[in-house]
Amino acid sequence: MLYIGIDLGTSAVKLLLMDSQGNICNIVSREYPLYFPHPGWSEQNPQDWYEQTMEGIRELLKDADKNQVAGISFGGQMHGLVILDEKDQVIRPAILWNDGRTTEECDYLNNVIGKDKLSEYTANISFTGFTAPKILWVKKNEPENFARIKKIMLPKDYIAYRLTGVHCTDVSDASGMLLFDVKNRCWSKEMCEICGVREEQLATCYESYEKVGCVLPEVADELGLPHNVVVAAGAGDNAAAAVGTGTVGDNMCNISLGTSGTIFISSDHFGVDQNNALHSFAHADGHYHLMGCMLSAASCNKWWMDEIIGTKDYAAEQAQISKLGENHVYFLPYLMGERSPHNDPNARGTFIGMTMDTSRADMTQAVLEGVAFALRDSLEVAKSLGIHLERTKICGGGAKSPLWKKMIANILNLKVDVIESEEGPAMGGAMLAAVACGEYASVEEIAEKFVKVTGTVEPDPELVAKYEDRYQKFRQIYPACRPLFEIIK
């Protein structure tokens, strides 16, 4: 049988076709626009997602036996606010995960409602990207739209609704809304009351590997699919990527170097760090995970290469970098503000340490190292909880760089396992579909069978020591700059 994984990203939807043995048969990607109606705002039109997903499925299956397609599932950008009216029509453009308009709402939630209560209700505190503060923003600034809300959805769940007619979400994606009781895997009545929403306005919540329905007959006919194609709930992009990299079960780790960057630690047990510096979410495998999320990771390198030095030849620029652990230039990778562990929307990208002999290669190296240092910040929080890691998987566009993987291994002092497929969320989505269809009994079983490690980047003790000294300097830069970020915002 064949399974489709749909990764609804920020810039494009990636679709993957997988067979029952985990072989990738085809991959298709289709882009859609991103809108910035005001500085710091970020929106998309959900109709664009659906149209490009449908076109993508047609392209994905053009040479396949459509009658063999058994299931579809998802990974998707998290936290986005999609609101529907009583006719299930989209009321306004979706407000995305990287939208920074909700500073006042986050201040209200964290400081008036209180972080302790938020953590008690949801296991998390408020960040500007989360969904609950977006709801409060609409309530305050667009009361006419707020009054029309019949359903509140997340991005990938809107696609699931269009395919099945079912208003659904999953536990991992719901965890990032600040409306979900993560420990008990259900909606938080207290948070609904705080945000002025009714539980019936929220989607039915499923485990990521559960069937939510079948593709609607008219949609199946349009795509040439059988009428019994199962749609599974899917997962938020990071949880789906973790499934795709085999980061399931207890004390496993995955680092994602995508537009945003994450360090994802799976656990059999629920846990929260004292300062809520890491997100505590439900995992797609039926258990839990901790996650540190930085808002700009591979996007920092793209910004530096494309916009500043004006090149698309990333490999050639990295080839000039030779002296690891000795760079005197540092870069704070906070181009979109920062989430973990600082929770500071005012933070900004910052170079420091340049001298007259600073080279272009030094600056490029600082960008790559800055992202790795920032991931180390979240790893240090995990260590404070008694979590001991020796190795990590890695995925995302940045993971294609051998140099960046070497930096990650030595700055975090972890063995970095490279896997055969780096498709992350799309692969995870297809795997969840296979579990929903009964092809495999559990997420752990399919991950153990499908995910193959093809190589490991080992830390070098001498380089680890050099980077330890650099990291201790790096971690002092943000606290020193923070008062300045308040002034220049």
Q: Running DSSP on this structure, what letter comes out for residue 96?
A: P
Q: What single letter denotes the amino acid at residue 476?
A: Q
pLDDT, tens digit, for every residue of 149-200? 999 999 999 999 999 999 999 999 999 999 999 999 999 999 999 999 999 9
Catalytic site residue from 237, 285, 362, 417: 237
pLDDT on residue 33: 95
Q: In whole angstroms, what is the distance from residue 249 CA to residue 263 CA?
A: 16
pLDDT on residue 274: 84
Write the CA distances from 22 to 234, 243, 447, integer angstroms: 17, 13, 10
Under 8 Å between Cβ of 244 and 399: no
- Residue holding tokens 């943000």? 478
- Does the predicted model carry a pTM greater than 0.85? yes
Percent of the chain with pLDDT over 70: 100
User: Which residues is 206 bridged to in the sheet?
Assistant: 170
pLDDT, tens digit, for every residue of 209-236? 999 999 999 999 999 999 999 999 999 9
Under 8 Å between Cβ of 450 and 5: no
pLDDT, tens digit, for every residue of 312-366? 999 999 999 999 999 999 999 999 889 899 989 889 999 999 999 999 999 999 9
Task: Let me know if 486 is exposed, middle or buried by CB neighbors in 10 A (0-12, 13-18, 19+).
Answer: exposed
Q: Assign domain 2-238 one CATH number from 3.30.420.40, 3.30.530.20, 3.40.50.1820, 3.30.565.10.
A: 3.30.420.40
pLDDT on residue 367: 98
pLDDT on residue 279: 94
Q: Is 336 known as a binding-site position?
A: no
Cβ partners under 8 Å of residue 113, min gap 6: 194
Annotation marks residue 237 as catalytic: yes
Cβ partners under 8 Å of residue 110, min gap 6: 118, 125, 126
pLDDT on residue 312: 95
Q: In whole angstroms, what is the distance from residue 467 CA to residue 474 CA?
A: 10
Q: Is 79 known as a binding-site position?
A: yes
CATH 3.30.420.40 placement within the chain: 2-238, 248-423+459-489
Relative to beta strand 69-76, strand 230-232 is: parallel
DSSP string, 313-327: -HHHHHHT---TT--
R_g over Cα of the chain: 22
Fold of 248-423+459-489: Nucleotidyltransferase; domain 5 (3.30.420)
Express the helix, strand and coil content of the chain in percent, nearest 5 each. 40, 25, 35
* Positions in the chain whose pLDDT score sits under 50: none
User: Which residues is 31 bridged to in the sheet?
Assistant: 12
User: What is the separation of C-alpha 39 from the centre of its chain, rounded to a whole number of angstroms?
Assistant: 22
User: What is the separation of C-alpha 246 from the centre of its chain, rounded to a whole number of angstroms?
Assistant: 16
pLDDT on residue 343: 86
pLDDT on residue 478: 98
pLDDT on residue 421: 79
Q: What angle do CA 18, 23, 29 make, to 5 degrees?
A: 50
pLDDT on residue 128: 87
